[in-house]
Copies of this chain bind each other. A is one copy, B any other.
Amino acid sequence: MAEKSTREVSMTASRNAPETTPEDRAATRPEGRTAAAPRLSRLSRAQWLREQLENAIVDGHFAPGDRLDPVALARDYACSRTPIREALQQLEASGMVRVYPKRGTFVTQLGVADLIERFDVMAELEGMCARLAARRITQEELAGLRQAHESCRDCLDGSDADRYYHANGTFHHLIYAASHNAFLTQEATRLHAILKPYRRLQLHVHHRLQESFAEHEAILEAIERHDANAARRAIQQHVQLQGNRFNDLMATMPQLREDPLA
């Protein structure tokens, strides 16, 4: 009954300091034709919580299938259930969690079929990013991408999977940004975040880091040559390989089952 799959979630004391006042950009548009034109945006508690919870999920503090108890979270974040609930609603719309009415909110647990679907879409989106990036990347962005690539190499030497994982995320995100399509960047980032908990599992597969790095090199090279087709194909293959490898991994780990509540 009290299985790990529905373990309680508390992460006490890891969160505090609600004093962060993240004021955003001031008005980039001094007059918007109406006095009611929205100007600056301080994000509310609920939105701040959404970011926190999203990071907690992506970083593995909550595993797929975990229940997110609103009262425990309210206790941990020293607020009431209301903003917690709103944050969870938003996360559900992003696909990070799943709300089962009257039964609770759970971190999205994807089955093999779900993951294949998402990796396919991820490959297509990243392919688009790479294609556009090959055409539109600036010198500064290219330099940053090279630097991120070198960071990956550094982590490679020590076989530090976690650090490599982080540098890898930076590398990919820089490609998204280099597409110069903000919406595409946003969507790719969101999907990347959803898949992150699952990608983590395949980190420790033998020699995977080296292979990944080699694939990165091919991608970077194609982008440097501004070869849109090659860049697209290279990154699509890269992502699809991740998906396939994960699929293999799942086949050997039957305890990772499908969504039990579905």
Contacts and interface: CB of A to CB of B under 8 A. Distances in A.
Assembly stoichiometry (copies)? 2
Contacts of A205: none
A17 interface: no
Contacts of A36: 3, 5-6, 67, 259, 262
B93 A183 contact: no
A219 to B, nearest CB: 18
Interface string A83-122: 0011001111110001011111010000000100110110
Interface in A24-40: 25, 28-29, 32-39
Given A90-B89, A90-B90, A101-B44, A262 B38 contact: yes
A100 B262 contact: no
Contacts of A44: 101-102
A41 B101 contact: yes
A56 interface: no
A158 interface: no
A37 B90 contact: no
B103 A38 contact: yes
A107 to B, nearest CB: 13
Nearest to A38: B100
Interface string A110-153: 00001001101100110010000000000000000000000000
A227 B16 CA distance: 56
A152 B28 CA distance: 44
Contacts of A42: 101-102
A25 B260 CA distance: 12
A124 B128 contact: yes
Q: Which 4 A-B residue pairings sit nearest by Cβ, starting from the closest? A: A93-B93, A38-B100, A117-B183, A5-B34
28 contacts: A3-B35, A3-B36, A5-B36, A6-B34, A6-B36, A25-B262, A33-B257, A35-B114, A38-B100, A38-B106, A38-B260, A38-B261, A42-B102, A44-B101, A46-B89, A47-B101, A85-B86, A91-B93, A93-B94, A114-B182, A114-B183, A117-B181, A117-B184, A118-B183, A120-B181, A120-B184, A121-B187, A124-B124
